[in-house]
A and B are shown apart, each in its own frame.
Chain A
Amino acid sequence: MTAEISETGIGKPARRKEDFRFITGNGHYTDDINRPHQTHASFLRSPHAHARIRSIDISDAEKAEGVLAVFTGQDIARDELGGLICGWTVTSKDGEPMKVGPHPVLALDTVRYVGDHVAMVVAETREQAEAAAELIDVDYDALPAAVSLASCQNGDAPQVHPEAPRNTCFEWELGNKAETEAAFSKAARIVSLDLENNRLIPNAMEPRAAIGEFDKGTGDYTLWTTSQNPHVARLVLSAFVGVAPEHKLRVIAPDVGGGFGSKIFIYSEETACAWASAKVGRPIKWTGNRSEAFLSDAHGRDHLSKAELALDADGKMLGLRVKTVANLGAYLSTFSAAVPTYLYGTLLSGQYDLPAIHVEVDGVYTHTAPVDAYRGAGRPEATYLIERIAETAAREIGMDPAEFRRKNFVREFPHQTPVIMNYDIGNYEASLDAALEAIDYKGFPARRAEAESRGKLRGIGFSTYIEACGLAPSAAVGSLGAGVGLWESAEVRVNPTGNIDVLTGSHSHGQGHETTFAQLVSSRLGVPLDDVEIVHGDTDKVQFGMGTYGSRSGAVGMSAISRALDKIEAKAKKIAAHLMEAAVEDIVFENGTFTVQGTDKSMAWAELSLAAYTAHGFAGSDLEPGLKEGAFYDPTNFTFPAGCHICEVEIDPDTGVTKIANFVAVDDFGTIINPMIVEGQVHGGIAQGVGQALLEHGVYDPESGQLVTGSYMDYCMPRADDLPSFRLGFTTTECPSNPLGMKGCGEAGAIASPPAIINAVTDALNIREIAMPATPARVWAALQARQPRAAAE
């Protein structure tokens, strides 16, 4: 291998190819793009959580300066466009399909959350569009709203959709009820815990944006949009909404400034921009501002759960019973039904050998923004539940929480859980031990005593998590209700001069694919990293792809590339054999050179690629010219990243402020292509987990349904001084179900960290439960409740 490549090979921290454009200000995000003659859109949003629209008077807005058009839901209905869809159908335990209320692109007669889309104004400038939107006169009949998750299923709660009585979209269950009941009946001890998984607002730093453009000559639409999966957007917009047939719609997701799930979904704004661009006859640009993002990006989490764990007399887990109410918001978003069901219930076994599990989930509508996948999607909720109750159980039976976990770990693989998942491989003890060592668990009592001498409360908390990534075997998800397959595609195009374009259906919005994918290709083909270009995010370039979420890009996206490389290599060897007059079996491909075994005959990579395109020497063979191969890779199983996070906090009892004193994460992600990038993913994930545990909370006023946390003034984003530097470690078991042995790393931090932090906080406070986020005010209140007198002194 040349020195150059050995620096950037698999497992090496190659510096990112994409960075240059970002650090010099030359990225191309959607809002950086301007189309000739473009116009600007602004959306009028509902100020009410629930109201009937009696009438909409657009006449003043239409006359306002610069206004080109004003559209309402009626205009869209007149064009017979479909509504926005949920791509996953969940079936209730009584066999009924979930109850879906219509989700119009612009409201028809009812608005269902503050921020719901009422009308679209298109004007010459953004300021003009915004000013005109204020001139639209909507006559609302404001109605009471169902805001609180705890009471929205009550008989007297206001109804979000007539299709869904008691605001219940589905009542789903998973696991074995009878076995679980039996386990509980023979339990020596039952530990129960009521948990809230707080609503989060994703807040990718780039707000959503879209530009729709229609070509009158060809009838083609182009949509630039902040999307994590442009092909899925195209599919939904054509097959379901009906904006344009698939082959007449091109969706481009250029540089995207973070997603975390929120840019998977297909929203009203980009739909309307694409559709209206033909009506207006000019490109239409919309760039959301942060306030709009707070109101109308799909939110995350928001569960209320009751969990019960059955133990035998030795502390062995016998069964788990869970009842969860999951908020779906006012409408089903693109994947929302899957998140609190198949991405949640299936992970409730954690790292434990839990023979019986039964989980019931009610998915409910409320008059709040739609809730869908946010970093981790269902898996953080599952991990929070199992890891909180595990820690609580250990404390209640007086066992060390680490030892309690150790006692209950799955040790033999493959392991079939009672909730669908079949864990293929892992070594949970290895990561636990490494983490205990890294945090110096033995030294904790001394650190606690030292903190106490300074008047501080120190606590430690664990999370031995597992998650399922590499979404997902298509047949499996199909049988569970998915409307799509979750394979991935890749195409490797070797150019005549030997450099390579790789087209992938994965999308990068911070994950560094342009580097890691290139590392794979470069080390496989022996070409320098700079000779590999990763092309993604454009439906006209890449044939099809399922996009990036669920930490699937490595395990699924790169596996597809690997398969395509297999084919490239096979064909290249055939060419080499033909040109060097040898048998294919005798061709060895190493470090970018083809040699005939046992001879000094060889061809360099660039020589061969040129020969593949000149094809001068192909006469008399069955070789086709060219060197380009594609592959679709459908995984055979989920992948199961797992590990152990340990957090130590220090609480100031006077103010209730929690500081993270020490945070260790040891993860098993299988094969790692680029440790620098993987560590970055973990850092970011932990930060979002710290956000959930200590800082962030999407809050609606329970009466009015107004979003209280509608800006950074009230929604507490993690800042640099809220966080420590993290200490990371890795243990490795290679994933057997994909060719590279990768498991995925994008979400682990956000999944694993919240229970570790809350376990540490409850340990420090010596209490059973505190709701997330454990803000200073809540911690202080918990201390007051614990020692109502002492605190006054």
Chain B
Amino acid sequence: MSVVAMTVNGKSVSADVEPRTLLVTYIRDTLGLTGTHIGCDTSQCGACVVHVDGKAVKSCTMLAAQAEGAEVTTVEGLAQDGELHPVQKAFREHHGLQCGYCTPGMIMTAVDLIRRKPDLDEETVREQLEGNICRCTGYHNIVKAILAASNEMR
């Protein structure tokens, strides 16, 4: 066991965990932030995407120890002062979610995408979602929501 400390959604946290603890386990089990999901064991579905130092990463493919000292943002930390993030709003407005399971990862990926590429078109959005699998929506409304949010944020 060793102490792993980081900042999660603006709060300093630290816990004594086994070295093999994944970041997603740390977030879900140690911190109780269950918005971040696990949908696969081959690092492909993106249900677990969070931001580490401002960049989208798959928290199932990172040890908690690797995030020592980092700034981590999860879906729970996206809304600021009770105000939903534009991407969150757009997902609701454009029905970009059904069962909601892929949604936190989708939203975190989308926020990162809009940050990296403020000028998005449909083809780019679809390409950039390669690492996020949704079984419910056929992506149609997810793509729509992301394009709408990026317009809104421009």
Interface residues of A (CB under 8 A from B): 15-16, 18-29, 31-32, 127, 203-207, 255-258, 260, 289-291, 509-512, 676-677, 679-681, 683-688, 711-713, 717-721, 723, 725-726, 749
- Is the pair B98, A510 in contact by a Cβ cutoff of 8 Å? yes
For chain B residues 28-68, which have a beta carbon within 8 Å of chain A?
Answer: 28, 33-42, 44-45, 47
- Is the pair A205, B125 in contact by a Cβ cutoff of 8 Å? no
- Is the pair B41, A23 in contact by a Cβ cutoff of 8 Å? no
CA distance A126 to B95 in the complex (A): 35
Nearest residue (CB) in B for A25 is: B35
Confirm or deny: B84 has a beta carbon within 8 angstroms of a beta carbon on chain A.
yes
- Is the pair B139, A23 in contact by a Cβ cutoff of 8 Å? no
17 interchain pairs, CB-CB under 8 A: A23-B97, A25-B76, A27-B100, A29-B34, A205-B99, A205-B102, A257-B99, A258-B135, A289-B40, A511-B98, A677-B95, A680-B137, A683-B139, A683-B140, A685-B138, A717-B135, A723-B140
- Is the pair A687, B138 in contact by a Cβ cutoff of 8 Å? yes
Q: Taking A25-B75, A26-B35 as given, write out 14 further A-B residue pairs in contact, using a Cβ cutoff of 8 Å, ordered by the A residue number.
A: A22-B97, A23-B92, A24-B78, A25-B34, A27-B100, A205-B37, A255-B100, A289-B41, A509-B99, A683-B141, A686-B138, A687-B137, A711-B41, A723-B138
CA distance A260 to B98 in the complex (A): 12
Nearest residue (CB) in A for B94 is: A676
Contact partners of B126 in chain A: CB under 8 A = 720-721, 723
Nearest residue (CB) in A for B102 is: A205
- Is the pair B99, A258 in contact by a Cβ cutoff of 8 Å? yes
Q: Of the candidates B76, B107, B129, which one forms a contact with A721 in the assembled complex, judged by CB atoms under 8 Å apart?
A: B129
Q: For residue A650, give the distance in angstroms from its CB to the closest CB of chain B.
A: 15
Nearest residue (CB) in A for B42 is: A711
Q: How many residues of B contact A (CB 8 A)?
A: 55
Q: For residue A263, give the distance in angstroms from its CB to the closest CB of chain B.
A: 10
Nearest residue (CB) in A for B34 is: A32
Nearest residue (CB) in A for B85 is: A23
Known contacts A24-B35, A726-B140; A676/B99 CB under 8 A? no
Known contacts A206-B99, A684-B98, A720-B142; A24/B40 CB under 8 A? no
CA distance A15 to B103 in the complex (A): 16
Contact partners of B134 in chain A: CB under 8 A = 205
Contact partners of B37 in chain A: CB under 8 A = 29, 205-206, 257
Q: Of the candidates A290, A291, A713, A725, which one forms a contact with B39 in the assembled complex, judged by CB atoms under 8 Å apart?
A: A290
Interface string of B126-154 (1 = CB under 8 A from A): 11011011111111111110000000000
CA distance A720 to B123 in the complex (A): 9
Known contacts A205-B134, A712-B40; A687/B139 CB under 8 A? yes
Known contacts A19-B91, A290-B40, A717-B133; A680/B98 CB under 8 A? yes
Contact partners of A206 in chain B: CB under 8 A = 37, 39, 99, 101
Confirm or deny: B79 has a beta carbon within 8 angstroms of a beta carbon on chain A.
yes
CA distance A509 to B101 in the complex (A): 10
Q: For residue B38, give the distance in angstroms from its CB to the closest CB of chain A.
A: 8
Contact partners of A21 in chain B: CB under 8 A = 100
- Is the pair A684, B40 in contact by a Cβ cutoff of 8 Å? no
Q: Of the candidates A20, A25, A720, A749, which one forms a contact with B33 in the assembled complex, judged by CB atoms under 8 Å apart?
A: A25
Q: For residue A610, give the distance in angstroms from its CB to the closest CB of chain B.
A: 33
Known contacts A18-B100, A205-B45; A719/B84 CB under 8 A? no
CA distance A207 to B28 in the complex (A): 16
CA distance A32 to B36 in the complex (A): 10
- Is the pair A23, B91 in contact by a Cβ cutoff of 8 Å? yes
Among A18, A681, A686, A712, residue most surrounded by chain B Cβ atoms (within 10 Å): A712
Q: For residue A529, give the distance in angstroms from its CB to the closest CB of chain B.
A: 14
Query: SS class of chain A's interface: helix, strand, loop or mixed?
Result: loop
Contact partners of B98 in chain A: CB under 8 A = 258, 510-512, 680-681, 684
Contact partners of A685 in chain B: CB under 8 A = 138
Known contacts A25-B74, A203-B135; A258/B140 CB under 8 A? no
CA distance A717 to B136 in the complex (A): 12
- Is the pair B138, A207 in contact by a Cβ cutoff of 8 Å? no
Q: For residue B13, give the distance in angstroms from its CB to the closest CB of chain A.
A: 16
Contact partners of B79 in chain A: CB under 8 A = 24
Give 6 closest A-B pairs by Cβ, nearest first.
Answer: A25-B35, A257-B101, A22-B100, A687-B138, A510-B99, A510-B98
CA distance A22 to B33 in the complex (A): 13
- Is the pair B35, A711 in contact by a Cβ cutoff of 8 Å? no
Known contacts A687-B138, A687-B139, A719-B129; A19/B35 CB under 8 A? no
Q: For residue B107, give the distance in angstroms from its CB to the closest CB of chain A.
A: 6
Q: For residue B72, give the distance in angstroms from its CB to the closest CB of chain A.
A: 13
- Is the pair A205, B39 in contact by a Cβ cutoff of 8 Å? yes
Q: Of the candidates A15, A256, A723, which one forms a contact with B93 in the assembled complex, judged by CB atoms under 8 Å apart?
A: A15
Q: Of the candidates B88, B122, B137, which one forms a contact with A24 in the assembled complex, judged by CB atoms under 8 Å apart?
A: B88
Nearest residue (CB) in B for A717 is: B133
Nearest residue (CB) in B for A293 is: B40
Contact partners of A255 in chain B: CB under 8 A = 99-100
CA distance A433 to B142 in the complex (A): 30
Known contacts A258-B101, A290-B42, A713-B42; A510/B95 CB under 8 A? no
For chain B residues 92-120, which have a beta carbon within 8 Å of chain A?
Answer: 92-93, 95, 97-104, 107
Contact partners of B144 in chain A: CB under 8 A = 725
Q: For residue A753, give the distance in angstroms from its CB to the closest CB of chain B.
A: 10
CA distance A15 to B44 in the complex (A): 30
CA distance A19 to B107 in the complex (A): 13
CA distance A785 to B107 in the complex (A): 45
Q: For residue A722, give the distance in angstroms from its CB to the closest CB of chain B.
A: 8
Contact partners of A258 in chain B: CB under 8 A = 98-99, 101, 135-136
- Is the pair A726, B138 in contact by a Cβ cutoff of 8 Å? yes
CA distance A720 to B135 in the complex (A): 10
CA distance A725 to B94 in the complex (A): 14
Contact partners of B97 in chain A: CB under 8 A = 19, 22-23
Among B41, B98, B103, residue most surrounded by chain A Cβ atoms (within 10 Å): B98
Contact partners of A23 in chain B: CB under 8 A = 75, 84, 88, 91-92, 97, 100, 103-104, 107
- Is the pair B136, A510 in contact by a Cβ cutoff of 8 Å? yes
Contact partners of B78 in chain A: CB under 8 A = 24
Among B41, B74, B79, residue most surrounded by chain A Cβ atoms (within 10 Å): B41
CA distance A31 to B76 in the complex (A): 17
Contact partners of B33 in chain A: CB under 8 A = 25
Nearest residue (CB) in A for B88 is: A23
